[in-house]
Amino acid sequence: MINVVFDTNIWLYLANGFDALSKKFPEGSHHIELFNEIKKKQDEGEIKLIINDVILIEWERNKHHTQSRIEKLKRRIEEVDKDFKKIRNYYDADDVEAQEKLNDRVKEKIQTEIEENEKHIEIVEKFLKEECQIIEISDEVKKRVWELAIKKDVPFLKNKNNIGDATLFFSAIEFLETTDPIIEGTIFISNNSEDFCEEGNRNEFHPKLIQHIKNRTLKYARTLHQGIKFSEEMQVQIEEIQKEIEELARQEAYLESISFYCQSFFCEGNEHIISWGYLDNKIKILDKSFLEYDPNQLNLFPDLPIEEPKIRESGFGDCVICGTTHIECPNCGEIICGVSIWADSEVYKCEYCESKFRFDYNKRFEEQVVYLDIEENSEER
């Protein structure tokens, strides 16, 4: 048997399925199945969940967050009807009736999921309060946590409001001194790797925390599946969900990297809208180094190391509200508003770096390009 310690975020995840690392609600009832397997492990004596009064206090304070998934599902029911109202005029009468019946079945399934989650939250709370072992928070633990918080020492380097998790950590260490000899060790599971781990190593406690642990067997895990051995089927589910979460995170990071806020007069002057767009189109940047490069030189001097200039690209895109085109300055990367990619005679100037550029068709690449700091009468290859 091993002791297992969850921080508050893990308990909230088991209740509502909200993943603190990805800030997402994975679809389905994975959190319910995961909790059921954890409960079964405790019932069968494989693990023992330990908590302290701080976990119970934080549970009550954050209990409204357990309703987040339910609120999301309720909004989804409303959206079924709203979305259909937008297009029902395009349906024939018979089709409207058929679609309404289909919508009713969809809403029934969502309502069933709501009821399952409401019941599940009650089960998790009952388990937390009645079936987990509550360990004492001694005056010595309170004093140690307070001193570390004042000094801004680990685990308070980045999170000043880490009293709860720190108290849980040190009370768990103290509890280990009186642990039954049959206990094989203790796993402390928390998503809060920034405070509990050293930068660059998110899989072990910070060296300063290890000094407090000394000879006691207390290991750190960032996620549930790292700390607890689940069934093969559950492990496959966890890995699949983790892949989906990581892919969503990559997509969001990419979209964030190419997004911009509209700088047009229309949008900036309208306080009632938030206008934006994506620089998801690319255009080649040709500068003087490109025009000065002559590929025939390679034939004249075969032994001379002449490299072809690397061609950079600028991102450009339109505002989703007003349609104004924005582009990254081909020199400094700042966002420039109101350009026309197809205005060959127009010369633009960046207000930030004062570089000039224009657009034109390039025969070699057979596409529109941007010429940076090149005079209009320059020869183009």
pLDDT tens digits along 303-320: 655 566 678 899 999 999
Contact 208, 152 (CB under 8 A): no
d(CA 3, CA 221): 13
d(CA 142, CA 246): 38
Rg (CA), the chain: 30
- SS3 string of 180-226? CCCCCCEEEECCCHHHHCECCECCCCCHHHHHHHCCCCEEEECCHHH
> Residue 180 pLDDT > 70, yes or no?
no
> Of the ranges 29-33, 71-75, 195-199, 342-346, which one carries the lowest mean pLDDT score?
342-346
Nearest to 113 by CA among 83, 77, 64: 77
> Residue 124 pLDDT > 90, yes or no?
yes
d(CA 243, CA 202): 19
Residue 297: what pLDDT? 55
Type and span of the H or E element at 246:
helix 232-258
Residue 284: what pLDDT? 93
Residue 287: what pLDDT? 84
The tokens of 125 are what?
């709370």
Percent of the chain scored above 70 by pLDDT? 87
> Residue 380 pLDDT > 50, yes or no?
no
The position carrying tokens 């020869």 is 379
Please give the average per-residue pLDDT across 3-9, as a whole number: 89
First-to-last alpha carbon distance for the chain, in angstroms, is 74
Percent of the chain scored above 90 by pLDDT? 30
Contact 48, 4 (CB under 8 A): yes
What count of other Cβ atoms lies within 10 Å of the Cβ of residue 82?
10
Beta-bridge partner residues of 218: 186
Nearest to 16 by CA among 25, 3, 8: 25
pTM listed for this prediction: 0.64
For the ranges 89-103, 174-188, 236-250, 366-380, the maximum mean pLDDT occurs at 89-103
Question: Number of helices and strands (H, E) in the chain?
Answer: 14, 14
Amino acid sitting at position 242: Q
Q: If 0-12 CB within 10 Å is exposed, 13-18 middle and 19+ buried, where does residue 185 land?
A: middle
What count of other Cβ atoms lies within 10 Å of the Cβ of residue 218?
21
Please give the average per-residue pLDDT across 23-48, as a whole number: 85
pLDDT band at 377 (very low <50, low <70, confident <90, very high): very low
Nearest to 8 by CA among 191, 152, 218, 160: 191
Beta-bridge partner residues of 337: 326
Helix then strand then coil, in percent of the chain rounded to 5, is 45, 20, 35
d(CA 371, CA 291): 10
More confident residue, 218 or 283: 283
pLDDT band at 23 (very low <50, low <70, confident <90, very high): low
The tokens of 100 are what?
């309404």
d(CA 154, CA 205): 10
Contact 113, 121 (CB under 8 A): no
DSSP string, 265-321: HHHHT-TT---EEE--EEEEEE-HHHHH--TTHHHH-TTS--PPPPPEEEEEEEBTT
d(CA 265, CA 142): 57
Contact 24, 245 (CB under 8 A): yes
Beta-bridge partner residues of 336: 327
d(CA 202, CA 191): 10
Q: Are strands 276-278 and 259-261 parallel, antiparallel or unpaired?
A: antiparallel
Residue 376: what pLDDT? 46
